[in-house]
Protein backbone atom coordinates (compact mmCIF):
# COMPACT_ATOMS: atom_id res chain seq x y z
CA UNK A 1 0.00 0.00 0.00
CA UNK A 2 1.45 3.33 -1.01
CA UNK A 3 1.19 6.21 1.41
CA UNK A 4 -1.76 8.35 0.52
CA UNK A 5 -3.87 5.39 -0.41
CA UNK A 6 -6.91 4.80 1.66
CA UNK A 7 -6.64 1.41 3.20
CA UNK A 8 -9.56 -0.61 1.99
CA UNK A 9 -10.65 -3.25 4.44
CA UNK A 10 -12.02 -5.33 1.61
CA UNK A 11 -12.13 -8.89 2.79
CA UNK A 12 -11.94 -8.20 6.48
CA UNK A 13 -15.39 -9.24 7.55
CA UNK A 14 -15.44 -12.83 6.33
CA UNK A 15 -12.15 -13.57 7.97
CA UNK A 16 -13.49 -12.41 11.27
CA UNK A 17 -16.00 -15.20 11.22
CA UNK A 18 -13.37 -17.84 10.79
CA UNK A 19 -11.09 -16.20 13.29
CA UNK A 20 -13.84 -16.41 15.83
CA UNK A 21 -13.93 -20.12 15.19
CA UNK A 22 -10.25 -20.76 15.53
CA UNK A 23 -9.64 -18.06 18.07
CA UNK A 24 -11.61 -19.66 20.82
CA UNK A 25 -9.86 -19.89 24.13
CA UNK A 26 -9.05 -23.56 23.72
CA UNK A 27 -9.00 -24.17 19.99
CA UNK A 28 -5.31 -23.56 19.50
CA UNK A 29 -4.48 -25.78 22.40
CA UNK A 30 -6.62 -28.63 21.21
CA UNK A 31 -5.47 -28.50 17.63
CA UNK A 32 -1.82 -28.35 18.54
CA UNK A 33 -2.35 -31.19 20.94
CA UNK A 34 -3.67 -33.34 18.09
CA UNK A 35 -0.55 -32.62 16.10
CA UNK A 36 0.97 -36.04 16.57
CA UNK A 37 -2.07 -38.15 15.92
CA UNK A 38 -5.49 -39.09 17.24
CA UNK A 39 -6.23 -38.67 20.87
CA UNK A 40 -8.93 -39.78 23.24
CA UNK A 41 -11.23 -37.42 25.01
CA UNK A 42 -9.76 -38.05 28.42
CA UNK A 43 -6.21 -37.71 27.14
CA UNK A 44 -7.01 -34.33 25.72
CA UNK A 45 -8.69 -33.25 28.89
CA UNK A 46 -5.77 -34.31 31.03
CA UNK A 47 -3.14 -32.86 28.72
CA UNK A 48 -4.83 -29.54 28.48
CA UNK A 49 -5.74 -29.32 32.11
CA UNK A 50 -7.92 -26.56 33.40
CA UNK A 51 -10.66 -27.19 30.89
CA UNK A 52 -13.95 -28.58 32.08
CA UNK A 53 -15.58 -31.56 30.45
CA UNK A 54 -18.48 -29.45 29.33
CA UNK A 55 -16.33 -26.93 27.54
CA UNK A 56 -14.01 -29.48 26.03
CA UNK A 57 -16.98 -31.34 24.62
CA UNK A 58 -18.46 -28.17 23.20
CA UNK A 59 -15.21 -27.01 21.68
CA UNK A 60 -14.53 -30.36 20.10
CA UNK A 61 -18.02 -30.40 18.69
CA UNK A 62 -17.44 -27.04 17.14
CA UNK A 63 -14.12 -28.10 15.68
CA UNK A 64 -15.91 -31.08 14.23
CA UNK A 65 -18.60 -28.91 12.70
CA UNK A 66 -16.01 -26.72 11.09
CA UNK A 67 -14.29 -29.72 9.62
CA UNK A 68 -11.09 -29.47 11.60
CA UNK A 69 -11.35 -32.74 13.49
CA UNK A 70 -13.08 -36.07 13.11
CA UNK A 71 -14.80 -37.84 15.92
CA UNK A 72 -14.58 -41.61 15.96
CA UNK A 73 -16.66 -43.62 18.37
CA UNK A 74 -15.65 -47.14 19.29
CA UNK A 75 -18.69 -48.76 20.89
CA UNK A 76 -16.78 -50.77 23.42
CA UNK A 77 -17.36 -50.91 27.13
CA UNK A 78 -16.26 -48.55 28.38
CA UNK A 79 -16.75 -46.51 25.23
CA UNK A 80 -13.86 -44.91 23.46
CA UNK A 81 -13.87 -41.77 21.38
CA UNK A 82 -10.94 -40.57 19.36
CA UNK A 83 -10.41 -37.16 17.89
CA UNK A 84 -8.11 -36.61 14.96
CA UNK A 85 -7.21 -33.73 12.71
CA UNK A 86 -8.69 -33.71 9.24
CA UNK A 87 -6.72 -32.50 6.26
CA UNK A 88 -8.22 -29.10 6.82
CA UNK A 89 -7.25 -29.29 10.46
CA UNK A 90 -3.71 -30.25 9.61
CA UNK A 91 -3.45 -27.31 7.30
CA UNK A 92 -4.74 -24.99 9.95
CA UNK A 93 -2.26 -26.51 12.33
CA UNK A 94 0.58 -24.95 10.38
CA UNK A 95 -0.14 -21.28 11.08
CA UNK A 96 -1.59 -22.08 14.48
CA UNK A 97 1.51 -23.93 15.46
CA UNK A 98 3.56 -20.95 14.40
CA UNK A 99 1.61 -18.79 16.81
CA UNK A 100 2.06 -21.35 19.50
CA UNK A 101 5.79 -21.49 18.87
CA UNK A 102 6.02 -17.76 18.92
CA UNK A 103 4.26 -17.63 22.24
CA UNK A 104 6.63 -20.16 23.68
CA UNK A 105 9.72 -18.46 22.32
CA UNK A 106 8.72 -14.98 23.42
CA UNK A 107 7.07 -15.62 26.69
CA UNK A 108 9.75 -13.94 28.69
CA UNK A 109 9.69 -10.83 26.57
CA UNK A 110 6.00 -10.44 27.15
CA UNK A 111 6.45 -11.03 30.83
CA UNK A 112 9.17 -8.40 30.90
CA UNK A 113 7.05 -5.92 29.00
CA UNK A 114 4.25 -6.47 31.44
CA UNK A 115 6.57 -6.03 34.38
CA UNK A 116 7.93 -2.80 32.95
CA UNK A 117 4.46 -1.52 32.30
CA UNK A 118 3.35 -2.07 35.85
CA UNK A 119 6.47 -0.51 37.23
CA UNK A 120 5.65 2.64 35.35
CA UNK A 121 1.96 2.51 36.11
CA UNK A 122 1.87 1.10 39.61
CA UNK A 123 -1.83 1.65 39.92
CA UNK A 124 -2.88 0.33 36.54
CA UNK A 125 -5.53 -2.31 36.68
CA UNK A 126 -5.47 -5.05 34.09
CA UNK A 127 -8.72 -4.95 32.18
CA UNK A 128 -10.49 -8.24 31.79
CA UNK A 129 -11.74 -8.76 28.29
CA UNK A 130 -12.64 -11.85 26.44
CA UNK A 131 -11.09 -14.94 27.89
CA UNK A 132 -9.26 -14.77 31.11
CA UNK A 133 -5.62 -13.82 31.05
CA UNK A 134 -4.32 -16.15 33.63
CA UNK A 135 -1.00 -14.59 34.38
CA UNK A 136 -2.28 -11.03 34.54
CA UNK A 137 -0.46 -9.08 37.16
CA UNK A 138 1.73 -11.56 38.97
CA UNK A 139 5.23 -10.92 37.73
CA UNK A 140 6.45 -14.45 37.19
CA UNK A 141 4.39 -17.55 36.70
CA UNK A 142 5.99 -20.75 37.74
CA UNK A 143 2.45 -20.91 38.95
CA UNK A 144 1.02 -24.14 37.66
CA UNK A 145 -2.64 -23.37 38.15
CA UNK A 146 -2.70 -21.76 34.75
CA UNK A 147 -4.27 -23.07 31.58
CA UNK A 148 -2.16 -24.84 29.04
CA UNK A 149 -0.79 -24.73 25.56
CA UNK A 150 2.20 -24.84 23.41
CA UNK A 151 3.95 -27.39 21.43
Residues numbered 27 to 46 that lie near a second copy (CB under 8 A) are: 27-29, 33, 36
Which x/- pattern, by CB under 7 A, does the window 61-90 give for DNA?
x---------x-x----xxxx---------
Tell me which of a second copy, DNA, none is bound by residue 140, counting a contact when its beta carbon lies within the kind-specific cut-off of 5 to 8 angstroms.
none
Q: Does 118 bind DNA (CB under 7 A)?
A: no
- DSSP letters of 52-110? -HHHHHHHHHHHHHTTSEEEEEE--SS-EEEEEE-HHHHHHHHHHHHHHHHHHHHHHHH
* 81 contacts a second copy (rule: CB under 8 A): no
In whole angstroms, give the CA distance from residue 133 to residue 2. 37
Q: Per CB under 8 A, does 110 bind a second copy?
A: yes
For residue 95, what are the contacts with CB-CB under 8 A and spacing of at least 6?
none
- Residues in contact with DNA by CB under 7 A are 25, 40-43, 45, 51-55, 57-58, 60-61, 71, 73, 78-81, 128-132
Amino acid sequence: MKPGDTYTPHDCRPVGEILNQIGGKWTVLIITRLKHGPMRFSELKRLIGGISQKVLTATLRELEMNGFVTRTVTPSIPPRVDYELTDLGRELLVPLDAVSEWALANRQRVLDARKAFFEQNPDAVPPRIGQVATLIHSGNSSDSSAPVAGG
